[in-house]
Structure 1
Amino acid sequence: MDGKKIKKLDSALVHASGKIRVLKALEWPLDSEKIFLDNWRRGNLRLPEVTLQRQDLTSSITSLEAIVACCDKNQAVEKFLADTAQSYADCAHMLSHIGTPEFTRYSTKIYGRPDTVYKLQGQSPVDGAIFFLNVTDKLIGNADFPPAISDISATAFAGWLKAEVDEFFEKDCVEVVLDPNLASKALAGATRIRLRGSALFSSQDNQLLYHEAFIHTATLLNGKKQSNLRSLGLGAPRTTRTQEGLAVMAEILTNAIDITRLRRIALRVIAVKKALDGADFVEIFKFFLDAGQPPEESVRSAQRIFRGGDVRGGVVFTKDSVYLEGLLEVHTFMRVAIRDNRPGLIRNLFAGRLTMGDALRLDPFFRTGWLQQPLYVPVWASDMTKLAAAISFAVYLSNIKLEKVYLERAIEFEDEVHI
C-alpha cells in the first residue's frame, strides 16, 4: 500500500467534495407547504410552483473524476477512495440537472430504484413495503393502538435531546439547533443536529435520538477521527443505504419505532415508485392522505420525493426508497456476520461512513490498527454477545411458517398436550 499516494488522494477527496451539499440544494421554499395546503383547503388543488436552481459544479466534477482515474481499484483503500469520489461526482451531475430526466437517472444510480429485484431473493423494496402495509393495515384504527399526541414544542424537545446527546458524546460537543426551513423533522451532521423549528413532537419521537444522533452523528464523528483516512468522515452519498439501514435497525432494536413510523417508511417506497411511473405531486399527496397521514405530513412526504424533480411526475428524488432496502440489507449482513463468526464486521460499520462492502474490504486495516475502532457505538451494538443473541433469535423466528398458524391453535395445542 502506497501511504503517501493514499494521503494525497484522501486530502484531495475531502477538498473536492466540500461544495456538494445535496439536501441543502434541494430544499423547497419555506412557504411552499402553506401555499399548497391553503389552495387545497379552498378546493383549488393544483401543482405547486417551485423552481430550484441548477448547480454549476463543473470544477468539482473534474477534480473528483481525476481522483477516480488515479486510484488502483485492486487495492482496498484506493477502491474506497475511487468509489466515494465517483459517488460525489454522480451527485454533482445530479445537482447540475435539477428538474430534468437526467436528475432522476443520476439519483437512481446513487440511491437505486424501489422496484429493483434482488437477484438472490426474488423480491424488490416495493414488495417489502407492500408486505409491511398489508400486515399493519388491519391494526390501523384499533383502539389498542392510540395515535401519538404531538404536544411537545421544538424547544422543549431540543432540550431533552441535547441532554441525551451530551451524555453520549462525552469527548465532543454536538449542538442541537432549531431550523424553520428544515423539510424533515430532524437532520444530523457531525457537530450539529437540526430540528424543524415549527414542528410539534411526541414522546414517540425519541426514535430521532437513536436514528439521527446515535447513528448519523456518531458515524460522522468516528470517521473524522480516522487520521489515516479522513474521507471516512464524509457523508458520502454511496453510504446512504447502509446509513439509513443502520438507523432504522437502531429504531427497531431499541423499541423506538412505532407502527405509524414503519408505515410511513413503507408508504414512501411505494410513492417513489408511483412518481417514477408518472404520478404527479397532487396524486402523491392524495396517496399519503388516503393512507391516513395528516395533510401537513402528506405534503411534506410528497415534497421529499419531488425535491429536485418535476412536480408533473416522472422526475423524482429516489432517496426515500433506501430506508427499507437498507434495513433489509443491514439486518441480513449482520445475520451472516454472526453466522460466519465475524462480528467485528458489524463494529466496522460504525467507524465512519462506510457501505457494507467497505466494512468487509477494509476489515484487514481495522484488524492491524491502521484504521481506528469506533469511539462512539450505540448501546444496542456495543455488546456483540447480546446483539448476536437478538439476531440469532430473529433467524430462528424466520423459520416459523405463519401461514400455517391461527390463533385458535393455542387452544387446540393445550387440548392435545393434555390428552
Structure 2
Amino acid sequence: MLDKQLMANTRELSDRLVQLQAPIRILDAVNWDRSIREEFFRQDAQQNPNISRSYYQQKNLGFNPESLRQGLAELQRDIVRQLGRLSPASQLMIRACREYRDVVRMIEARGTAEFHELSVELFGHPDDVFHANEPSLSELATMLQSPLDSLLASDALPEEKKSIEASEAVSRLQAQLDHSMPSVDVQVMLSDGIVSDAAAGSDRIKLNQDVMFSQRELDILEVHEGWIHVGTTQNGLKQPYLTCLSKGTPSATITQEGLAVLTEVITLRSTPRRLAKLVQRIHAVALAADGAEFVEVYRNCLEQGMRPEESYTLTQRVFRGSTANGKPFTKDLAYIRGFVLVYNLIRVAVQLGKIDRLPLLLTGKIAIDDFRLICELADSGMIAQPDFVPPHFKDLRGLATWLSVGRFLGDFSFTQLENDYRPLIP
C-alpha cells in the first residue's frame, strides 16, 4: 500500500518537473529559417549557408537559461530531500533533471564547438559501440546499407508515388487514427513551420503543407507518430503520480524513436527506402563529425540518389544548432541506435520469459536504462499500466513468436546459407 504523503510529494515534484521543462523546444531553438534554404539554392547550392552564433542568439527561446538551470537544480535537491536519493521515483526524476540541464546548456552553446559535444553527450556519436569489439553505429549503418542497395536497385520493389496533397493526407491520416486509436483524441493538421514531413505533439500530428505524400507514408505516420509518439504521451499524461513520463528527455527520445522504427518494421509498414533514409542520416552525421562541411554532406546526399530538396533537408538536420562548417547535431542517430536497443531488450525479455513486462515500454516517454525502475514502480503501484497499447503489444503472441524464430534462425551462418542457396536463385 502506497503512503499517501509519498504519493502526494511524488505528484507535486513530478508536476514541477513538467512545468519547468515546458518552455524547452530543442528543434525550435536550432532550426533554420526557410530563407536560408532559399538563399542556398539561389547560390546554385555551391556555398555553405551563412550561419553563425549570432544567428541563433537572435531567436527568442521563451525562457531564461540561467534561471531554468537553477530551477532544475533546486527541484533535484527537493526530490532528494523529500523522496530520498535511492527510490525508483527519485532516480527517474533526478536523471530527467540532469538531462534537461544539459539540454539547456546545449541550447545556450548553439553555434559553438560545445554544442556538438553536448549533443554527443545526450544523443551519442557515430563511433559509439554497443559492446566492446563490436561494430560502431556508423559501421552497422554501412553493413545495413549493402542489402538495402540491392533492394532499392530491384524493379520488383518500386516506390509508391507521392500523389496525395497535404490537405487530403490530413483527412486520410485522421480517418486511420480514428479507427486504430479510438480511445485517444488525436488531431491531424497542416503546418508550414516544420522542417520534416511530419511532427507529433502531445495530442496532434502536423503535416508539412508543402509536401506530397504516398499512402505508404501515411501508414508509417499512423504507427510511428500516432501509435508511439502520441500514444506514449497520452499514456504518460494519464499516470497518477509520475506525470513527467509524458515528457521526453533525450535518452527517452532514443527509446521513442527505436520503438517507432521497430513498430514500422513489425507491422510491415516500413520500406527499404525508408530504412535507407534512416541509414543515410547516420552516414551524414558521421561525415560531418569527421569534418565535412555543409556543401560536402549535401553533395554526398545527391550522390546517394537523393533529390536536391531531400538532400538539403537531411543536411540541414545534421547542421542545425551548429554552423555550416561546424560539427553536427547528433539527434538523428536516435532512430537506428534506439531500434537496436529496444529490439535487444525485447529479445532478452522473450528469452527470459518476461514478455509480460514489455507493455511497460509504452507507459510514457522512458529511457531503456530506466526500464528496471519502471518495472519496480509498476509493481509498487506508483506507475499505472499503459492505457493505449498498439495491437502488436496488446497481443504479444505474434511478437514473441517472431522474435523467437528470429533468434533461432540468426544462429545460422549467412555466408554458408548464401553459398548453399545462391545456385537455386536464377
Cα distance in 2 for partners of 1:411, 1:319 equals 43
| Residue 178 of structure 1 pairs with residue 182 of structure 2 | no
1:90-112 deviation line (CA, Å, top 9, x unaligned): 11111111111111111111111
Deviating more after overlay: 169-178 vs 156-165: 169-178
| Residue 254 of structure 1 pairs with residue 267 of structure 2 | yes
| Residue 127 of structure 1 pairs with residue 128 of structure 2 | no
Quick one: structure 1 residues 400 and 65, their matched pair in 2 at CA, closer, same or farther if it must change by over 3 Å?
same
Report the alpha carbon displacement of residue 189 of structure 1 after superposing the two structures with TM.
1.2
| Residue 202 of structure 1 pairs with residue 214 of structure 2 | yes
| Residue 239 of structure 1 pairs with residue 240 of structure 2 | no
State the partner residue of 1:68: 76
User: 5+ residue gaps in structure 1?
Assistant: 414-419
Helix, strand or coil: the match of 1:176?
Answer: strand
Report the alpha carbon displacement of residue 273 of structure 1 after superposing the two structures with TM.
1.3
State the partner residue of 2:410: 398
| Residue 59 of structure 1 pairs with residue 67 of structure 2 | yes
Report the alpha carbon displacement of residue 156 of structure 1 after superposing the two structures with TM.
0.9
State the partner residue of 1:115: 127
State the partner residue of 1:416: none
Report the alpha carbon displacement of residue 204 of structure 1 after superposing the two structures with TM.
2.0
State the partner residue of 2:366: 354
State the partner residue of 1:333: 345
Helix, strand or coil: the match of 2:411?
Answer: coil
State the partner residue of 2:10: 6
| Residue 380 of structure 1 pairs with residue 413 of structure 2 | no
> Contact 2:256–2:338 at 8 Å: present in 1 too?
yes
State the partner residue of 1:31: 35
Quick one: structure 1 residues 37 and 4, their matched pair in 2 at CA, closer, same or farther if it must change by over 3 Å?
same
Helix, strand or coil: the match of 1:94?
Answer: helix
1:336-359 deviation line (CA, Å, top 9, x unaligned): 011111113211110101112322
Helix, strand or coil: the match of 1:268?
Answer: helix
State the partner residue of 2:47: 46
Q: What are the within-5 Å matches in structure 2 for residues 68-107 of structure 1?
A: 68-70=76-78, 71=80, 72-107=84-119
Report the alpha carbon displacement of residue 67 of structure 1 after superposing the two structures with TM.
2.2
Quick one: structure 1 residues 410 and 263, their matched pair in 2 at CA, closer, same or farther if it must change by over 3 Å?
closer
1:23-52 deviation line (CA, Å, top 9, x unaligned): 122221123223322322xxx611112422
Cα distance in 2 for partners of 1:37, 1:403 equals 46
Report the alpha carbon displacement of residue 74 of structure 1 after superposing the two structures with TM.
1.6
Cα distance in 1 for partners of 2:303, 2:48 equals 18
Q: Which amino acid aligns with 2:26?
A: V
Cα distance in 1 for partners of 2:273, 2:424 equals 34
Q: Which amino acid aligns with 2:117?
A: R
Helix, strand or coil: the match of 1:381?
Answer: helix
- In structure 1, which of residues 291, 312, 315 is the aligned counterpart of residue 325 of structure 2? 312
> Contact 2:233–2:246 at 8 Å: present in 1 too?
yes
Helix, strand or coil: the match of 2:188?
Answer: strand
Helix, strand or coil: the match of 1:321?
Answer: helix
User: 5+ residue gaps in structure 2?
Assistant: none
Quick one: structure 1 residues 292 and 396, their matched pair in 2 at CA, closer, same or farther if it must change by over 3 Å?
same
Report the alpha carbon displacement of residue 177 of structure 1 after superposing the two structures with TM.
1.1
State the partner residue of 2:242: 229
RMSD: 1.9
> Contact 2:298–2:311 at 8 Å: present in 1 too?
yes
- In structure 2, which of residues 367, 374, 383 is the aligned counterpart of residue 371 of structure 1? 383
| Residue 285 of structure 1 pairs with residue 285 of structure 2 | no
Cα distance in 2 for partners of 1:140, 1:224 equals 41
Q: Which runs of 4+ in 1 moved over 6 A?
A: 410-413
Report the alpha carbon displacement of residue 407 of structure 1 after superposing the two structures with TM.
6.4
Cα distance in 2 for partners of 1:409, 1:284 equals 38
State the partner residue of 2:311: 298
Cα distance in 2 for partners of 1:110, 1:197 equals 31
Cα distance in 1 for partners of 2:284, 2:356 equals 37
1:361-409 deviation line (CA, Å, top 9, x unaligned): 2213213433111111111111112211111111112112111123663
Helix, strand or coil: the match of 1:406?
Answer: helix
1:52-109 deviation line (CA, Å, top 9, x unaligned): 2364411111111222234344211100000011111111111111111111111111
> Contact 1:345–1:359 at 8 Å: present in 2 too?
no
> Contact 1:128–1:324 at 8 Å: present in 2 too?
no
Cα distance in 2 for partners of 1:17, 1:24 equals 14
Q: Which amino acid aligns with 1:153?
A: E
Q: How many residues align?
A: 409
